[in-house]
Structure 1
Amino acid sequence: MSVRGVRGAAAGLLVAILVLAGAGCSNNNTSPSNEASQAASAASSVASRAGEVIASATAKAQQELDRIKGGVNAKGDIALGSVTNDGGRKSVPVTATNHSGSQASYAVQIDFRDPGGNLLDVVVVTIDNVGNGKSGKGTARSNRDLSGDVTADVARAVRH
């Protein structure tokens, strides 16, 4: 999903919460329409910052993988375990099985998504010096706290 879609969903949710929390409450300085407008503005700001965080994480992952020269696509060498909660952040075990014929290292981009498929976070895990026919292990941990049901998938994997 695009960053715009993430912003829209977050803004809609925050507006609904703020409007429901303030229903029937008014003070002498603001009208209900003013409160709704202020809530929408605040929600848009929060959603914008969330979208910027995701865009930044995606760009950083892209740069990290692009630095690798002479690497080959190795998505088929990667297996993920189950996503778990790790102090508010989500983590997932990553296993790289080397079928290349010689020792290799891996850089793996993991995308964390909500049940609707919306991108929540992006991380890159490196697994170094995996022998031929052997498996190496790593852990992908989200950059920030993620709540609710979160899935992880391998977006890119490079063997080098």
Structure 2
Amino acid sequence: MSRRTHGGPARTGRSRATAALLATLTCGAALVSCSTNSGGDSGAASVAPRATPPDTSRFSGTPPSALASAASSIIGSARASASAAASSLSAAASEFEASVSADTARASAQAQAELKKVQGPGNARSDVAMTGMPRAKTGGLLAVLVNITNNTDRTASYAVQIDFKNADGKVVETRFVGAENLKPGQRAQPVAISRQPTQPQLTPVLAKAQRY
């Protein structure tokens, strides 16, 4: 007669549970072993941080780049400098013209009145020469230094007409200068200033010179 073993199913269940537990422990040991560093330290398994994407729903527009901001700053600075330079040049031109006009206004009016009586180029063109003045000294204005020399043997006065012509030879502006009571050999140097814009460029021409 065969003997029946008591507790067979229960013993079999415990064996299976033990095997499953051993398998789990083995796999866990393997995972920990792979996660440790090469130095053999038994530290915790390393976990790589995961980047958090930006919340684009909070964006209200495209922020200006650093390059755009720098370019805007440079342009603004250049405009301010150009404006300041233009204002300074205009002030210099006004100052130069005022200083000249104060000395020559009456002589200019006298010269213009005298030349109304003259037909042709006048009798004193050989006594008059012109020299262009650097714009750096005139505030950017076109100005001519008119050299009047009394080459006669007696005291005389002079009236001079300067025409400013464009590239086509057309007279755009006329200025009058004069010198009174010059002794023999004496020289006067009035200035004729054009009030026209710097462009197009004009050329000063001696139109008339009269000794009286």
* TM-score normalised by the chain length of structure 2: 0.40
* Structure 1 residue 95, shift from structure 2 partner: 0.5
Bigger Rg over Cα: 2
| Aligned counterpart in structure 1 of residue 124 of structure 2, from 58, 74, 83 | 74
Match of 1:126 among 170, 178, 181: 178
**C-alpha displacement of 1:83:** 5.2
Number of aligned residues: 97
Q: Once the 2 structures are TM-superposed, how far is the Cα of residue 103 of structure 1 from its aligned partner?
A: 1.3
Picking from 95, 98, 109, the partner of 2:147 is 95
Relative contact order higher in (CA < 8 Å, ≥ 6 apart): 1
- C-alpha contact (below 8 Å) 1:88/1:145 kept by paired residues: no
Counterpart-to-counterpart distance in 2, 1:96 and 1:158:
11
Can you give the 5+ residue segments of structure 2 that lack an aligned partner in the other structure?
1-110
The structure in which a higher percent of residues are helix is 2
Which of 137, 147, 152 is the matching residue for 2:199? 147
Task: Give, in whole Å, the separation in 2 of the partners of 1:125 and 1:137.
Answer: 9
For 1:96 and 1:157, the matched residues in 2 are separated by 9
Unaligned runs of 5+ in 1: 1-60
Q: Is contact 1:83–1:152 with CA below 8 Å preserved after alignment? A: no
- TM alignment of 1:9-158, pairs within 5 A: 63-66=113-116, 73-82=123-132, 84-85=134-135, 86-87=138-139, 89-158=141-210
Q: Provide the aligned C-alpha RMSD in A.
A: 2.5
Q: Distance in 1 between matches of 2:190 and 2:146?
A: 5
**Letter of the aligned partner of 2:205 in structure 1?**
D
